[in-house]
Amino acid sequence: MFLLAGCLKTKTQTAKTEEEKPNVIVILTDDQGYADVSFNGSKEIKTPHIERIAHEGVKFNNGYVTYAVCGPSRMGLITGRYQDRFGGSRNPLFAPNDLSQGLPLSEETIATVLGREGYKSIALGKWHLGAHKALRPLKRGFDEFYGFLTGGHKYFPEEWTLSDISKVQSQFDAYNTKLLKNDTRVEETEYLTDALSREAVDFIDRNAETPFFMYLAYNAPHAPLQATEKYLKRFAHIEDKKRRIYLAMVSAVDDGVGTILAKLEEKGIDENTIVFFLSDNGGAKSNGSSNGELRGFKSNLYEGGIHVPFAMRWPKMIKGGKEYNPMVSSLDIMATAVNYAKATPKNDLDGVNIVPFITGEEQGEPHQNLVWRKYDDGHFAIRSGHMKYLSLVDKKTGKANVSVYDLKEDISEQNALENKEETVRKAFINTFEEWKSQTTVPNFLGLRQNDEYNKLHPNRFKTEVY
Residues 38-53 as b/e (b if ≥16 CB within 10 A, e otherwise) read: bbbebebbebebbbbb
- The third-level CATH classification (topology) of the domain covering 22-367 is Alkaline Phosphatase, subunit A (3.40.720)
Per-residue exposure over 283-305, b if at least 16 CB sit within 10 Å of its own CB, e if not: bbbebbbbbbebbbbbbbbbbbb
Query: What pLDDT is recorded for position 164?
Result: 87
Q: Which residue has the higher pLDDT, 118 or 20?
A: 118
Q: How many helices (H) and strands (E) does the chain have?
A: 13, 16
Q: Is the pLDDT reported for residue 9 higher than 70?
A: no
Torsion of CA 122, 128, 133, 137, to 10 degrees: -10
pLDDT tens, residue by residue, 310-320: 999 999 999 99
Binned at pLDDT 50, 70 and 90, residue 151 comes out as very high
Q: Which residues are catalytic?
A: 70, 128
For residue 405, count CB atoms less than 10 angstroms from its CB and return exposed for 0-12, middle for 13-18, buried for 19 or more: buried
Q: Is the pLDDT of residue 81 over 90?
A: yes
* Residues pairing with 23 in the sheet: 273
- Tell whether the model's pLDDT for residue 82 goes beyond 50: yes
So where are the chain's domains?
22-367, 377-441
Which of 415, 419, 331 is CA-nearest to residue 367?
A: 331
In this predicted structure, what is the pLDDT of residue 466?
56
380 sits in which H/E element: strand 379-384
Domains 22-367 and 377-441 share a fold: no
* Mean pLDDT along residues 177-183: 97
d(CA 210, CA 222): 33
Question: pTM score > 0.85 for this model?
Answer: yes
Strands (E), 104-240: 120-126, 144-148, 180-181, 184-185, 212-217
The answer to whether residue 8 scores a pLDDT higher than 80 is no
Q: 87: closest CA among 423, 445, 431?
A: 445
The pLDDT score that the predictor gives to residue 262 is 98
Q: What are phi and psi of 454, to 5 degrees?
A: -60, -40
pLDDT in tens, 359-373: 999 999 999 999 999
**Topology at the third CATH level for domain 377-441:** Arylsulfatase, C-terminal domain (3.30.1120)
